[in-house]
Structure 1
Amino acid sequence: MTTPLRVVDVSGTPEQMGEAYGAAATDLIQANVATYLARFSRSAGLDRQTVLTRGAAFRDTTRALAPRLARMLDATAGAAGLAPELIYAVNARSELLYGDPSCGAPGGAGAELGECTSIGVLDSRTADGHTVLAQNWDWHPDHRDGNLLLVTRDERGHVVAALTEAGMLAKAGLNGAGLGVCVNLLGCDRDGRPGGLPYHVLLRSVLEADSLSWATRNAVRAPRSASINLLIGQAHPSGGEIIDLELAPGEAGWLHPVDGLLTHANHFETPLPVYDTVKDWGGSSLFRSARARRQLAAAGDRLRPEDILGVLRDHHSYPVSLCRHVDPRDEEADRSETIWTVFLDLDARSMQLIPGPPCIGREGMRFTIQ
């Protein structure tokens, strides 16, 4: 990260928030769209007109299934001076990059899926009695400077704070109800089906919920064109709760904490009747989740934030490790590294965002919902 993370804090109706978002981050949004147009062409063979056509289809789906979020995205595009179809295409970047069977393996995953290791720890296992989520977000280094912290305060009093790519509505984040989410890319043979809600709109719909129950409803009920893993938690005075949802087009599986711990990487762990495309590629996902859980369990009965972040700095199998670094043996288009580490304290409604591989030792920035 060569520049400080921009914070975009907006309020009002969906239209007002979208207009303010687009105006405050026009430069970042335009640059991020340009970066993805180049990547769609290079990695998936999609020209601009095809991207516009695909974006229009995702816009129709979003308008039908998530109208408030569609109104926000439309206003964002207008304020940023971009065709709305391009904004929807960027919010569906996972579908466009990995969801087309012509891109290679079943599900279109043309390389090892290199996006994230997630951790959840219940309050019964933390030193301060708080429920926490954390993750490494592994993605192409070209996208390092296209990120921001989006804070929205809507007219109903609902507050969301999410790390996101400019023009998108969410990545990892939390809300004023003490609910948070981390995300992992998955791939299966059902990916590419038409009619799904864009990957990052579905992710944002989780943060629109004021309870864990509604978060799971929003995620499971939405039609999907791409597989996605959501690690969701919510704090509560009587004890927090965490659940992991593995979502494929037309299927859903779930995992619960064991001894207060829950971890996930980039492959399916529930017995869903789908073909997991990780089987075509292998790679670090096959051990990252298990290794993270083992290290958490060995760190003690009451884990401190430093214990959890220490696991995310692990270098076993470097450079393709929990703390991921660029592997020069990968094709340039397939390179990945940890561009952000996210730590969410759901009881405190706070987040710590650490740029770059966490082993570098940067403090990052902290934000608390007020």
Structure 2
Amino acid sequence: MLEIHCSGTPYEIGRVHGKEARDRVRGSLDFYRGLFNTTCGLDWPGVCEEASKYVTTLETLCPRYLEEIRGIADGAGVGLLDIVALNVRTEINFGLFTKQPSLPVQSDGCTSLSVKTSSDGSWLAQNWDWMVEQSPNLIACHITQTELPKISMITEAGIIGKIGLNSAGVGVCLNAIRAYGVDHTKLPIHLALRTVLESSSKTEAIDKLVKTGVAGSGHILVADPAGGEGLECTRKGILKIPIDEKGLVVHSNHLLLEHPGVVEPPWLQDSHRRVVRLRKLAERRVESGSNVDTPQLFDLFKDQEGYPGSIDRHQVQDCKTQTLFNIIIDLSEKRATVRFGRPTEDREPIEFAF
């Protein structure tokens, strides 16, 4: 796994990312160029035209992020709008889906979990599912910025916000939600993830996102040592899912709450099964009275009930995506364990620690 360490100004951070992950950034562009063409019938100039609609928003809401994106583009030797397109890929997807609902638009599916234990442990865990063709373009990115928490995350090369934790003990996971509509004036979802990773607490992160709003739909699971909270985001607004009486938040790829005015057509039929299954497994673990730890949580994500569209997902038959990595984050200890591939492959992990 390629690990890159970035520091300095936003532009300098981006330039290191683009230069050191040059081949993988270009790999991400090749992957999404093919995906948008296949599923949306949109060539890359058309994708960049869609991406250009977000530049003014980035200049207004998060000019630092735009500078970092510019640095990635220069470091990788590609165009600015190429990298903007990667960072707003979710919004482009859903924007096209809204205009042409018959398109077979694809997005990454995942199963995520927050656990707050009676012994004051706080955990995040997730299987990230996407097409295996994008797996070679994943990187571990470590970012050091002045007066902000240090960040360690797993991301797709070229994207500045994804899944991980920071030195303040704040972590974030993501579940794609496919609902109609985007709002170009709000914060794109991957930049919302970066905003969480730059926050000093769960409360600060949530307050920031509620203030800016999120452009597209998705579930952002935020946690710190005090526990987790789910944020179901749509262009209409953000609704919160607090931890339940067992200390859990469990999510997959459909909205669990009622969102007035939001239309969510059927997408991944296994999403309902996965959230029920993971909740059952997590409740059983919590109720057993034994301590929650990384190996125990990792075992939950090996589950293959409903294969191939199971928690441990496999890209075969009608299942279009596969688990590309699992991450277990211990917020109390500010540590994370990442295993690439399907959990049942049990590959050697990499560790993040602050």
TM superposition score category, shorter chain reference: over 0.9
What is the identity, as a one-letter code, of the residue corresponding to 1:355?
F
What is the Cα deviation at residue 281 of structure 1? 3.5
Residue pairs, 1:117-136, within 5 angstroms: 117-124=111-118, 129-136=120-127
* Alignment equivalent of 1:179, drawn from 170, 173, 196: 170
* Alignment equivalent of 2:207, drawn from 178, 194, 217: 217
Cα distance between partner residues in 1 of 2:257 and 2:268? 17
Number of the residue aligned with 1:346 = 331
Number of the residue aligned with 2:278 = 292
Match status 1:54 vs 2:50: yes
State the SS of the aligned residue for 1:144.
helix
What is the identity, as a one-letter code, of the residue corresponding to 2:172?
V
Fraction of identical pairs, as percent: 27
* Alignment equivalent of 1:147, drawn from 138, 143, 150: 138
What does the per-residue CA deviation read over 1:197-243, in whole Å, with 9 as the maximum and x for residues that have no partner? 222112111111112122002222224331010110011xxxx2210
What is the Cα deviation at residue 87 of structure 1? 0.3
Cα distance between partner residues in 1 of 2:263 and 2:313? 22
Number of the residue aligned with 1:252 = 238
What is the Cα deviation at residue 317 of structure 1? 0.7
Cα distance between partner residues in 1 of 2:142 and 2:353? 10
Contact 1:203/1:219 (8 A) holds in 2: no
Greater mean alpha carbon deviation, residues 340-349 or residues 193-202: 193-202
Q: 1:103 to 1:362 in 2, by over 3 A?
A: farther
Number of the residue aligned with 1:188 = 179
Contact 1:44/1:96 (8 A) holds in 2: no
Q: Aligned-residue CA RMSD in angstroms? A: 1.8
TM-score, scaled to structure 2: 0.93
Instruction: Tell me the number of residue pairs that the alignment of Structure 1 and Structure 2 aligns.
Output: 349
What is the identity, as a one-letter code, of the residue corresponding to 2:232?
E
Match status 1:44 vs 2:40: yes
Structure 2, unpaired ranges of 5+: none
What is the identity, as a one-letter code, of the residue corresponding to 2:59?
R
* Alignment equivalent of 1:271, drawn from 258, 283, 300: 258
What is the Cα deviation at residue 304 of structure 1? 2.6
Contact 2:178/2:267 (8 A) holds in 1: no
Contact 1:55/1:87 (8 A) holds in 2: no
Q: 1:308 to 1:109 in 2, by over 3 A?
A: farther
* Alignment equivalent of 2:86, drawn from 84, 90, 93: 90
Moved over 6 A (4+): none
State the SS of the aligned residue for 2:207.
helix
Number of the residue aligned with 2:307 = 318
Match status 1:355 vs 2:340: yes
What is the Cα deviation at residue 195 of structure 1? 3.0
Contact 1:319/1:326 (8 A) holds in 2: yes
Cα distance between partner residues in 2 of 1:361 and 1:274? 43
State the SS of the aligned residue for 2:14.
helix
